Every structure is written in structure tokens, then in C-alpha cells.
Amino acid sequence: MLQQQLLGHWSPSRDVRACPSTKKGVAVPIVDSARHVVGGVDTHRDVNVAAVVDMNGGVLGVESFPTSAAGHRCLSLWMSRFGTIERVGIEGTGAYGAGIARHFLAGGVVVIEVDRPDRQKRRKHGKSDQLDAVEAARGALSGRCEGRAKSGDGHSEALRALLVAKRSARSTRIATIVQLRHLMFTAPDELRFEAGRLERNATGQPGRQAAPTCGC
């Protein structure tokens, strides 16, 4: 029912005609390769929902594919059957959509970073992965979304990974030092003095002045 709503009263254009296949009762579309189409992908952890629209925004098809290397190949092959892929709008190219974005970029296809669908449309029409995929394709087609997706490789990506590891290690070190200091507040006197001496030696800070001794 949902796919019928997406397709509306769509009928095959002059670029598509049906021909018999080896199986009875099944028609296989033959597509004019000169026709240009735009794809859209709503990404998730396990499944990517893809849609293809023509240059007028008409929906040609909606399908789901697994988020594996084989699934990426099947997705791009499925899109190419409708015509020449001009560009693809993908949600979350820095998260769940990173894999499918790299796949299209490696094939020389322009990948557009698509923002999350408008909240008003979500409230009006409800949440649907198929609708999100169609909106991603139409957003890339209309020019509403113009940002190019990053390739996710090369020197910049390697530097980003190093910075993430550095920040994580620094945050963990600071949290560990704070925990040890709080434990020292209630530790026995001998242990607190020894831990403080070790901390000053490790940080290179000058030693504190000795506490005054009582005359008794």
C-alpha cells in the first residue's frame, strides 16, 4: 500500500518497455541507458532503503538492501537498471551511510549529503523509511541539498582517527587521575603521603613544604 502511494498513478515511460523472461508471467524492464536518474538512500545499521526518481521527481522504484559489500553492489546495480545514475542523495554519510557513500564515490558517482527530513512532514505523513529514501533522492535532484559527501579515506581520515584516539586517551587519563585523588582523601595517612609523593614525581611539580610537627 505504501509503495503504491509513493508511485501514485505511475506508468512506464517511453524509455521502459517490458519483455518476456525465462520465467512465465514475469516481465523484465528494458531501460534506455541514455536516461538519467537520481538515487536516494535512507541508511540504517542493518538495512539501506533505496529509491530512484527520474529527472522530474517521479518515483521509479523503492527497494531495501543489506548493509554489506554485496548489498552495496546489488543496490548500485539495481539503481543503474533504471538509467544512468547522475547523483545519489544519502543520509548520514558520516555514520551508517559511510559504506554505501564510499561505494558510489569509488564508482565515480556524485554523492550528496542529505539532511534529516523536515519534522513537519514527518508529523504530517508519519515516519517511513521508503518516504525518507524518496525525499533523499528528490532533495539531491532539486538542489535543496548541495553538500558533497566526504570520501572517508586518505590523509585527512587517518588524521581524524588519530585525533579521536588522542582525545579519548586524554579524557580517560584525566578521569583516572580525578578518581585517584578522591580516593586519597579518605586513605590512611601513610598511603596518602606515599601516593602524593609519587604523583609529584610523575608530574615534575615541586614538593610541598613539610607539614609542621607538634612539639609533643
Residue ranges per structural domain of the chain: 2-150, 155-203
Contacts of 55 (CB under 8 A, 6+ apart): 36, 37, 38, 86, 141
| pLDDT tens digits for range 180-214 | 788 877 878 888 777 777 666 655 555 454 555 55
**pLDDT band for position 118 (cuts 50, 70, 90):** low
- Pairing verdict, β 84-91 and 110-114: parallel
Query: Residue 105 above 80 pLDDT?
Result: yes
- The answer to whether 28 and 18 are in contact (CB under 8 A) is yes
Measured at the alpha carbon of residue 146, what is the angle toward residues 143 and 150, in degrees to the nearest 5?
A: 150
Instruction: Return the CATH class of domain 2-150.
Output: alpha beta
Reported as a single tens digit per residue, the pLDDT across 142-186 is 888 777 777 666 677 778 788 889 999 999 989 988 887 888 778
What is the C-alpha separation between 54 and 79, in angstroms, rounded?
Answer: 11
Question: What percentage of the chain reaches a pLDDT higher than 90?
Answer: 39
Strand runs (DSSP E) across 94-201, as ranges? 110-114
pLDDT at 32 over 90: no
pTM for the model: 0.62
Q: How many Å apart are CA 82 and CA 60, to the nearest integer?
A: 8
The conformational region for residue 47 under phi > 0 = left, psi -120 to 50 = alpha, else beta, is beta
Cβ 90 vs Cβ 100: under 8 Å = yes
Task: List C-alpha distances in Å: 86 to 40, 59, 111, 206.
Answer: 11, 15, 9, 66
